[in-house]
Amino acid sequence: MDWNNQIILITGGTGSFGKKFTEILLKEHAPKKVIIFSRDELKQHEMQVAGFNHPNLRYFIGDIRDRERLHRAMHGVDIVVHAAALKQVPACEYNPMEAVKTNIIGTSNVLEAALDAGVKKVLALSTDKAVSPANLYGGTKLVAEKLVIQSNNYAAGSSTRYACVRYGNVVGSRGSVVPLFLKQRSSGKITITDERMTRFWLSLEQGVRFVIKCIEEMEGGEVFIPKIPSTKVIDLARAIAPETQIEIIGIRPGEKLHEDLLSADEARNAVERDAMFIIQPPETLWNRNQHYEGKPLPEGFSYTSDNNTEWLDLEGIKKYIAPFEELYKQGKLEG
């Protein structure tokens, strides 16, 4: 794929993912133009002040709830990476319709605007919380995934294609537990909800590079899932603050002990590669005779954070969090 001639728009482009995606894309792939689409003018200003002022970079103020603004922003765009979402679980629980308006209706607006504008590829970011969701955030992301995949029906007679990437917790991203634990460490006590809890983990750079690879490979209708390590949350706390007291405060409503990236039901229609799983497009109206290399999965297979074959030990966790330790010391770590 020739990135040099591509115009890329990133919704939620001022977030942790958007900034790292923009940095790597401009440095290594030199696209024709990158458009940051987000609703917060302060974050756009801060992003520019922090050095994101490349001549091929543009900033659009806009909300994915505003379909007309999306239409304007997508004019001439080749690729859309849809990263905008309300993702804080407690905030989504307390403000359910706001989560629906952004994560579901906003996603629908992105998909329809992309089709109307003749965008070639739309890749949406999803989460392990969309699998067997236990909270409203996960529920909205499940619906968003279904909208993305089935939008290939609408686009059957056009060149627009839609796909999803689904992965786990990004170390140190906004809302991550890593900044929280670093701040709690100074108080002498770290709180976790259950000592049995496990989570999938990947670095921001891993997530970005996986998304770039999936954009290059997508044909439309896939859900791409990276193979990533698991960690016990209590081990994460011990790696960050080995001398600090750990208090178990009890699991919260809508919180899972373990997360799922691929359910047993989905695995029947998935293939495995060395570094990823791909959930193939379902039987659809847009049958384009797509074929995905990879081996089928055994009956009953699932990919969850507690049955993972790859785990981070304390030393492995420390390597992941080392950059955020330094940012925390400098007072630059986003919570």
281 domain-assigned: yes
pLDDT of 174 over the 80 cut: no
- 197: in domain: no
Contact 145, 126 (CB under 8 A): yes
pLDDT in tens, 130-145: 999 999 999 999 999 9
- Give the confidence band of 335 by pLDDT, cuts at 50, 70, 90: low
Which CATH number characterizes residue 33's domain?
Answer: 3.40.50.720
The number of domains in the chain is 1
| Within-domain flag for 322 | no
- Write out pLDDT tens, residues 262-309: 999 999 999 999 999 999 987 665 666 777 889 999 999 999 999 999
Nearest to 173 by CA among 8, 316, 11, 12: 12
What sign for the dihedral angle of Cα 131, 176, 254, 228? positive
Q: What gap in Å lies between CA 122 and CA 110, rounded to an integer?
A: 9
Token pair in block for residue 62 = 């806009």
Confirm whether 68 is domain-assigned: yes
Owning domain of residue 286: 3-168+202-228+261-304
Q: How far apart are CA 326 and CA 324, in angstroms?
A: 5
Per the domain annotation, does 28 fall within a domain?
A: yes
Least confident of 104-113, 196-205, 285-294, 316-325: 285-294
Alpha helices of 29-100 — where are they, by DSSP H? 41-49, 67-73, 89-94, 96-99
φ, ψ of residue 109 to 5 degrees: the values are -60, -45
pLDDT band at 173 (very low <50, low <70, confident <90, very high): confident
Residue 192 maps to a domain: no
Question: Can you give the pTM of this predicted structure?
Answer: 0.95
236 in a domain, yes or no?
Answer: no
pLDDT digits (tens, 9 = 90+) for 187-235: 889 999 999 999 999 999 999 999 999 999 999 999 999 999 999 999 9
Q: Residue 182 — pLDDT band, cuts 50, 70, 90?
A: confident
Please indicate, yes or no, if residue 196 is contained in any of the structural domains.
no
* Catalytic one of 87, 121, 129, 232: 129
- To the query of whether residue 227 is one of the catalytic residues in this protein, the response is no
Which of 52-56, 69-73, 95-99, 331-335 comes out lowest in average pLDDT?
331-335
Whether 177 shows a pLDDT value over 90: the answer reads no
Overall average pLDDT of the 113-117 stretch: 98
